Structure 1
Amino acid sequence: MRPIEALLEIARDEGVTRIFGNPGTTELPLMDALAEAPDLRYVLGLQEGSVVAMADGYARASRRTSLVSLHVAAGVANGLIGMLNALRSRTPMVIVAGQQDRRHLLQDPMLSGDLVGLASAATKQAVEVQHAGDLPIVLRRAFALAARPPAGPVLVSVPMDLLEEDTDVAVTDRSPVTGPGAAEAGEAAALLARAERPAIIAGDGVGRAGAAGELVAVAERLGAAVYHQPMNDGIDFPTGHPLYAGMLAPHNAVIRETLSGHDAVLIAGCHAFMPHHYTHGPAVPDGLDIVQVDEDPAEIGRNFATRHGLTGDLAGTLRALADHLGGRVPSARERTERLGAEHARKRHDVEAAARAAYGPSPMDPRAAAHAVAAGVPDGTVVVEEAITVGLKLRAVLRQDRPGSYVHTVGGGLGWGIGAAVGTRMADPGRPVVAVLGDGCAMFGLQGLWSAARYEVPVAFVVMNNGEYRTLKDTLDEGGGASARYGRYVGMDLGPPALDWQSAARLFGIGAVRAGSADELRDAVAEVRDLAAPLLIEAPVAGHGEDR
């Protein structure tokens, strides 16, 4: 079997049905081979950032490792932001990057470069294949490493001439790996059962492991308040559950204040809290009893001391904890009722304030977020990359079904459009609404072309305030010169104003402009019946206009 045939055969055996890419000369052997491989669909993106974002969304929704094809050093460089997002969000992905022909690499030919060096900081591993016979082994290793906790992207650089070799290579068989059984959880359960004010922090590892149901069982048997980790990437605990207390803010001081009201906490599948802005002191208050559960042994005690650290299969470990807790906390039901009433009051107040802010465009950000939350049909997947409105959306969006909310904590802007396209491709039975800030959308605008080309029925809701509002708000909090003089340098997207209707037409996509919060809600509600992509422009009040 020739090297190019081995690449395709291993891809099939690893469950790949789509290859996301943007081709160049070094990919011509792959593109030619795909002409005879109709079972492997090539998904074209016009810029590598959108390509990797589509693969990210697809991998999460399909729960399979995605395969990406990038072109030489420039393509890898363009795709780095997507790899960084995938690394932070722990998305399993294999990137095959075409390297220049080895026979003249010594001459520094155009397009060549250190692909491994470029990608190393944004991937779990980057490696270049030098011998055709090594290609199957390297690819098998890449797929295994990409999926192994903590999951993430792996890059394989493959010289163009290697794929063209007429060499017989052997394809190694796939080696299935199953996680270890649940660790002994009896002592950890006893500690949690003794707590009078227990809490749980649901990390994104729970959602990735499909263990939300097991975490619900633990929470209900404890009667514990449950918080999502800061800036959670998915649904790790049903947000409509009476025990759900909301998302922890990404600030150590706020986390510490919140957890100080508890005497024990279970931290499940959470990567170290990852604060955003610096605040003095640790995230965990002194004297707090912590039980930490994670598939990655390196997470246990990484940033704070734990009383019990359990590793291994996350769903199995949580199931074991729930079994040990059965009947040991008589007050669990009373706690659940009390916390449920308290959480319901807080939710009512937030939603009432948002409804009171309804009105014509430009909309109050609270009203825009509530309109989206009120409009999304049951079963819809919300892909969110809206810095200002996104935080307000989290406070009013009620989603219980796993996979219903998709975000990236990676921080690389421009991810949302591509991720939404990949999400809908992987799960075409579920409507998808992408909620995007106008600044974020500009970073990944090329992804709209792929949505149009493949007729992917996603509603792209662009929250248009014409500025980087989050930066202005942060400067205001610090009381700097910008706030004093009302002059913010490099933070406005106009003039000229961005014309989102024209942007949609450029890519052959229909567009509407919401004239009010009610119109936005109604436009989002129609996403279930979409047969083609649609851009919904939502004019939102800018800095200081909604105060």
Structure 2
Amino acid sequence: MRPIEALLEIIRDEGVTRIFGNPGTTELPLMDALVEAPDLEYVLGLQEGSVVAMADGYARASRRTAFVSLHVAAGVANGMIGMLNALRSRTPMVIVAGQQDRRHLLQDPMLSGDLVGLASAATKFAFEVQHARDLPLVLRRAFALAARPPAGPVLISVPMDLLEEDVDVAVPARSPVSGPGPAVAGVAEAAALLAAAERPVVIAGDGVGRAGAVQALVAVAEGLGATVYHQPMNDGIDFPGGHPLYAGMLAPRNTAIRETLAEHDAALIVGCHAFMPHHYTPGSAVPDGLDIVQIDEDPAEIGRNFPVRHGLTGDLAATLRALADRLDVPSAPDRAQRIGAATDQARAAVESAARDAYGPVPMDPGAAAHAVAAGLPADAVVVEEAITTGLRLRAVLRQDRPGSYVHTVGGGLGWGIGAAVGTRLADPDRPVVAVLGDGCAMFGLQGLWSAARYEVPVAFVVMNNGEYRTLKDTLDQSGGASAEHGRYVGMDLTGPALDWQAAGRLFDIDTVRPESADALRDAVASVKDLTRPLLIEARITGHGR
């Protein structure tokens, strides 16, 4: 079959039903072929950052590798922020980028460029196909590599004339590959070390949620009677948020992590990419003398940033089940009861403070976050890109089902709107609420167009404080001139003020502007009945107000 026919045949065989893209001239062979391929839906985005973000959300919710089509060097450059997020969040994705016609590449034609060089730092692998006969094999390799732990985006540069060649290419069959088995060596020793601990702690990394290993980790934590923390800035639900052993998220600073872990004598770290601190603080995240058992699907993670007593590589769920079966800790129930009492008390204090702050606009950020959490419909998915308010939201969310919370540790702004659209497209039976900072939302505003075009019923809650609050808070902590004078350069989104009601009208999206925390809670509760997108503007207090 012809190269373009082979491309469509392979992506169908790999489970692709939607192509996320923004086309240009180099994609015309693909766009023309899709006219006769009604089983492949093309999801159009107005800018490549939104396109890749939609694919990211879609891949996570569908648990399948997403497929993206980008246009030449400019499209790859625009999409790189999404690729960086996908790489950090371990999202499997295959990106085919159209390259200029090879017959005049030597002349440095308009729109051409080094697509592989551009994408290499933001992908697991990037490659440019030069011969039509190689395209099918490269595509098969790309899908296999994108899904292999650690998962991530893979980019293929395809010259447009290659797709148009009238040559017959062979399509290799898909090679089913089983996942890794459980770790074999070291499980008994790891179980013995953890069982002997008096103050064990468990750190649940995002690999746990991706691997479907949450319940297996619960069995281990209960078998130990251990306090459980999420990794810093976790991307998903890796341990049930309402479980009595769950104590919240580790702060993304080495000193804070070290202080927390110093209360324990042994730690089980599972599926965690080396803690990934945000702000620099001196020293290791791990205190001296802490005995560590680390389990991961990726052998490169074991002992990567700190020494471990036992490192186990293999399927997380199977390895954790084997570990749980070997645990016999008579003191575990008593420890669990004490931990549960402490977590209940801490949660009650957070709840009380948030409720006490309820009032009219501008709302207290903690009250606004609590109102969103309180109003969430049953089985809702929260897609969060709200920076400072997002931290308050994490403190009050009590979600237990994996996939109910979606974030990107990549940190590339503008991801949230597109990711929410992709999430709802992949799982149309669950309500989706995107909680966005106003600054973050401006980076990905074009994604609202796709939400409106495809009538994707997502509620976009914009936390509007008119500033880059996280930057001001960081400067305040550093004690510099900005904090001394109360003046912050380039951090205010005023003059002209952002009009989110006008943004809704621009994209033909309904909007509401709640006048109190109670009204915000009710607006969020109503999203269970959405049939089209809704923008909810939550006006919250800014810095020092």
TM-score bucket of the superposed structures, by smaller chain: over 0.9
2:298 corresponds to which residue?
296
1:245 corresponds to which residue?
247
Deviations 1:340-380 (A, max 9, x none): 01000000001100000000000000000000000001100
Q: Distance in 1 between matches of 2:289 and 2:458?
A: 48
Deviations 1:115-151 (A, max 9, x none): 0000000000000000000001100000000000000
Q: Distance in 1 between matches of 2:400 and 2:229?
A: 14
Moved over 6 A (4+): none
SS of structure 2 residue aligned to 1:445: coil
2:315 corresponds to which residue?
313
SS of structure 1 residue aligned to 2:326: helix
CA shift, 1:180, in A, is: 3.1
Q: Distance in 1 between matches of 2:505 and 2:265?
A: 56
Q: Distance in 2 between matches of 1:413 and 1:506?
A: 21
1:60 corresponds to which residue?
60
1:266 corresponds to which residue?
268
CA RMSD of aligned residues (A): 0.5
2:157 corresponds to which residue?
157
Q: Distance in 2 between matches of 1:437 and 1:386?
A: 4
2:166 corresponds to which residue?
166
Deviations 1:370-403 (A, max 9, x none): 0000000110000000011000000000000000
SS of structure 2 residue aligned to 1:231: coil
Q: Distance in 2 between matches of 1:112 and 1:407?
A: 34
CA shift, 1:458, in A, is: 0.2
1:436 corresponds to which residue?
436
1:505 corresponds to which residue?
505
Deviations 1:489-536 (A, max 9, x none): 000001111000000110000000011100100000011100000000
SS of structure 2 residue aligned to 1:287: coil
1:113 corresponds to which residue?
113
CA shift, 1:183, in A, is: 1.5
Q: Distance in 2 between matches of 1:252 and 1:178?
A: 37
SS of structure 2 residue aligned to 1:29: helix
Q: Distance in 1 between matches of 2:509 and 2:24?
A: 27
SS of structure 2 residue aligned to 1:130: coil
The one-letter amino acid paired with 2:276 is M
Whether 2:226 is the aligned partner of 1:199: answer no
2:368 corresponds to which residue?
368
Tell me the TM-score normalised to structure 2 length: 0.99
The one-letter amino acid paired with 1:370 is H
Whether 2:147 is the aligned partner of 1:147: answer yes
1:232 to 231, 234, 256: 234
Whether 2:414 is the aligned partner of 1:389: answer no
2:84 corresponds to which residue?
84
1:23 corresponds to which residue?
23
Q: Distance in 2 between matches of 1:274 and 1:428?
A: 32
2:422 corresponds to which residue?
422
Could you tell which deviates more after superposition, 415-424 or 316-325?
Answer: 316-325
2:44 corresponds to which residue?
44
1:535 corresponds to which residue?
535
CA shift, 1:179, in A, is: 2.5
The one-letter amino acid paired with 1:299 is E
Q: 1:475-514 alignment to 2 at 5 Å?
A: 475-514=475-514
CA shift, 1:178, in A, is: 1.3
Deviations 1:396-415 (A, max 9, x none): 00000000000000010000
1:132 corresponds to which residue?
132
1:379 corresponds to which residue?
379
CA shift, 1:216, in A, is: 0.4
1:210 to 197, 212, 217: 212
Q: 1:275-286 alignment to 2 at 5 Å?
A: 275-286=277-288
Q: Distance in 2 between matches of 1:211 and 1:50?
A: 30
Q: Distance in 2 between matches of 1:138 and 1:10?
A: 11
CA shift, 1:177, in A, is: 1.3
Q: Distance in 2 between matches of 1:241 and 1:488?
A: 41
Whether 2:260 is the aligned partner of 1:287: answer no
Q: Distance in 1 between matches of 2:394 and 2:6?
A: 45
Q: Distance in 1 between matches of 2:387 and 2:183?
A: 39
CA shift, 1:181, in A, is: 2.1
The one-letter amino acid paired with 1:245 is A
SS of structure 1 residue aligned to 2:275: coil
1:460 corresponds to which residue?
460
Q: Distance in 1 between matches of 2:182 and 2:314?
A: 6
The one-letter amino acid paired with 1:32 is D
Could you tell which deviates more after superposition, 71-80 or 170-179?
Answer: 170-179
SS of structure 2 residue aligned to 1:155: strand
The total of aligned residue pairs comes to 543
Q: Distance in 2 between matches of 1:323 and 1:9?
A: 45
SS of structure 1 residue aligned to 2:292: strand
Q: Distance in 1 between matches of 2:339 and 2:315?
A: 30
CA shift, 1:171, in A, is: 0.5
Question: Identity over the aligned pairs, expressed in percent?
Answer: 84
The one-letter amino acid paired with 2:59 is A
1:220 corresponds to which residue?
222
Q: Distance in 2 between matches of 1:192 and 1:265?
A: 8
Long gaps (5+) in structure 2: none
Q: Distance in 2 between matches of 1:535 and 1:339?
A: 40
Long gaps (5+) in structure 1: none
Deviations 1:218-246 (A, max 9, x none): 01111110000000000000010000010
Q: 1:516-531 alignment to 2 at 5 Å?
A: 516-531=516-531
Q: Distance in 2 between matches of 1:479 and 1:85?
A: 31
The one-letter amino acid paired with 1:105 is L
Q: Distance in 2 between matches of 1:469 and 1:225?
A: 32
SS of structure 1 residue aligned to 2:373: helix
